[in-house]
Amino acid sequence: MKLVCIGRNYGEHAKELGNTLPEEPVVFLKPESALIPHGGPIRLPRFSQDVHHEIELVFSIAVRQGKAYADRVTIGLDLTARDLQQELKAKGLPWEKAKAFDGSAYVAEDFTAVESFPAGHHLEFLLKKNGQVAQSGHSGQMIFDVPTLIAHVERYMRLESGDLLFTGTPAGVGALRGGDRLEGYLLGELLFDLQVEGPESQR
């Protein structure tokens, strides 16, 4: 199973990081070992002083008659060591150290069947940090929609049943500190409630 992630898929977020809007999807991977166990906590790594939260719609891929499609949806976190990512980007190096580290991904436990939503329905989601809304968005704001993303990814790598597609984050990303609490909502329903632990509190 692989985690396929899309960068810069919401215009306002691309702008807040000083990136231009992409002409085609930005694709990167995280390994399965990046996943935080259900219920958390999020443990911040020692090598970064600037780990950002990115809440994203996450789609579980299924394959029917050889064709990959988005079967079920939930929300997750693409945690990013922004200081390290900026360094790597400046040097033209790959992002894995900043994006694929242990504990850099969270996927909520409860998924909903995509086909249970009417066509064109915008999936609204939001992230609260310490009780305040930090990020909010909906699927209609994506620059590239999910079928376009799947078709694009499959030009380069095969998607398999159980793969997870992270579809990019809306504006409002920010740094995490030990003691923070993150609550993720999809369509008004609380799907995760996670505590953040700083490196100093880890043994």
Q: Which residues bind Zn ion (CB under 5 A)?
A: 54, 78, 169
**Nearer to Zn ion (CB atom), residue 78 or residue 163:** 78
Provide the residue count of the chain: 203
Nearer to Zn ion, 67 or 163 (CB): 163
Our CB check for Zn ion shows the closer of 115 and 129 to be 129
For Zn ion, the closer of residues 63 and 136 by Cβ is 136
15 CA to centre of own chain: 17
Q: In angstroms, give the least distance from the CB of 54 to Zn ion.
A: 4
Name the minimum Å distance from CB 182 to Zn ion.
15
SS3 of residue 4 by DSSP: strand
Residue nearest to Zn ion (CB): 78
Shorter beta-carbon distance to Zn ion: residue 13 or 116: 13
Q: Distance between alpha carbon 69 and the CA centroid of its chain, in Å?
A: 18
CB of 56 to Zn ion, least distance (A): 6
Distances (CA, A) of 39 to 30, 162, 173, 194: 20, 20, 21, 6
- Dist. CA 47–CA 75, nearest whole Å: 26
- The total of other beta-carbon atoms located within 10 Å of residue 147's CB is 10
- Beta strand 132-138 pairing with 105-107: unpaired
Compute the least distance from the CB of residue 77 to Zn ion, in Å: 9
Radius of gyration of the chain (CA): 16
If we measure between CA atoms, which residue out of 1, 4, 58 comes closest to residue 33? 1
Closest approach, Cβ 118 to Zn ion, in A, equals 27
Smaller CB separation from Zn ion, 30 or 128:
30
Q: Which residue has the tokens 């002083």?
A: 49
Q: Nearest approach, Cβ of 199 to Zn ion (angstroms)?
A: 22
